[in-house]
C-alpha cells in the first residue's frame, strides 16, 4: 500500500527566508506525487506534480520539489517566503488503480512571520 | 475551461436531520468524482468515489451515502446526521491517467451539526 509521511505538522519561517516542507513516501512502484495548498476555509489548489518526468518539478508561486527515489522523498521548497504563503500544505501520492485515488499526508501548517 | 461547484457553502443542521450536499462539474465529460471530509485540524479523509454514473465506492463505513444521478453530478446524503458528521466537505474531480492523475477541488461546504 502506498502512503506519505509529512515530517512536520508546523513550520514557522520569517518572511524572505527559505521554506522547506518535508515529505517521505512509500510505494511499491514508481509513484505520482503532488503537493497541494489549502488556505483557511478554502478548497485545495494543486501546487505541482511529479509523474516520472524531470525529477525537479517547478510549480506555481515559486515553489518547487525534487523527487529523490533513493531517499523516497519529495520535499517542497521555496527560496523566499511571502506572507501570502501561510497555509496548510499536503503531500499526496496517487493510487495506480482505476480509481486513481489520492492518498494524503497529514499536512504541514506553514506560518510566515513578518 | 472546467469548473466545479459545491453548495451550500455553509450549513448548520440539528442532530437527526437529513443532509444533501451537491457537487457539479462543468466543462468535461466522464470525470472521476470524489467526496472528502476534513475534520478540524486534520487531513483529508476520502469518503466516496465514482468512476461513472451509478457507480459508487465507499471508503469508510458511516451513516453517509453518495449518488451520481448524472455524469457530472455527485450528491452526498444522510438520513440522520450525527454530531461527528461536522466538518469541511470537499468534492473533487479528475480524469485519471488522461488528466495527469491529479484532482481538482471544489470550494467546500462547512457543515456544523448542533
Task: Convert the pLDDT of each residue in A41-88 to its tens digit.
Answer: 888 999 999 987 788 999 999 999 999 989 999 999 999 999 999 999
Find chain A residues with C-beta within 8 A of B104's C-beta.
46
Tell me the sheet residues that pair with A12: A111
Candidate from A36-40, A51-55, B52-56, B84-88 with smallest mean pLDDT: A51-55
Size of interface A-B (CB pairs under 8 A): 55
> Distance (Å) from the C-alpha of residue B106 to the closest C-alpha of chain A?
6
* Residue whose grid cell is 510549480: A59
Q: Using CA atoms, how far apart are residues B28 and B5, in angstroms rounded to an integer? A: 13
Whether residue B51 and residue A46 make contact (CB cut-off 8 A), yes or no, is no
pLDDT of residue B100: 66
Whether residue A105 and residue B97 make contact (CB cut-off 8 A), yes or no, is no
> Distance (Å) from the C-alpha of residue A100 to the closest C-alpha of chain B?
6
Find chain A residues with C-beta within 8 A of B100's C-beta.
49, 51
B37 burial (CB, 10 Å; 0-12 / 13-18 / 19+) is buried
Tell me the sheet residues that pair with B93: B33, B104
C-alpha cell at A65: 520539489
Please state the rounded mean pLDDT for residues A85-111. 87
Out of A43, A45, A99, closest to residue B51 by CB: A99
pLDDT in tens, A8-42: 999 999 999 999 999 999 887 778 899 999 998 88
Amino acid at each position: 500500500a502506498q502512503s506519505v509521511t509529512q515530517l512536520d505538522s508546523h513550520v514557522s519561517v520569517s518572511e524572505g527566508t527559505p521554506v522547506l516542507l518535508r515529505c517521505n513516501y512509500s510505494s511499491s512502484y514508481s509513484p505520482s506525487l503532488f503537493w497541494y495548498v489549502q488556505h483557511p476555509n478554502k478548497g485545495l489548489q494543486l501546487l505541482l506534480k511529479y509523474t516520472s518526468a524531470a525529477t525537479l518539478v517547478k510549480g506555481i508561486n515559486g515553489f518547487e520539489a525534487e523527487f529523490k527515489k533513493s531517499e523516497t522523498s519529495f520535499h517542497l521548497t521555496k527560496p523566499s517566503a511571502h506572507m501570502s504563503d501561510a497555509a496548510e500544505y499536503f503531500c499526496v501520492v496517487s493510487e495506480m488503480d482505476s480509481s486513481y485515488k489520492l492518498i494524503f499526508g497529514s499536512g504541514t501548517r506553514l506560518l510566515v512571520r513578518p | 475551461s472546467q469548473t466545479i461547484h459545491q453548495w451550500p457553502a455553509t450549513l448548520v443542521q440539528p442532530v437527526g436531520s437529513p443532509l444533501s450536499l451537491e457537487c457539479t462539474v462543468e466543462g468535461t465529460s466522464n470525470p472521476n468524482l470524489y467526496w472528502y471530509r476534513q475534520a478540524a485540524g486534520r487531513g483529508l479523509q476520502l469518503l466516496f468515489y465514482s468512476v461513472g454514473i451509478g457507480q459508487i465506492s465507499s471508503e469508510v463505513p458511516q451513516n453517509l451515502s453518495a449518488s451520481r444521478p448524472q455524469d457530472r453530478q455527485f450528491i452526498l446524503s444522510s438520513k440522520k446526521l450525527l454530531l461527528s458528521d461536522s466538518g469541511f466537505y470537499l468534492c473533487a474531480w479528475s480524469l485519471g491517467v488522461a488528466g495527469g492523475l491529479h484532482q481538482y477541488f471544489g470550494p467546500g461546504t462547512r457543515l456544523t451539526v448542533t
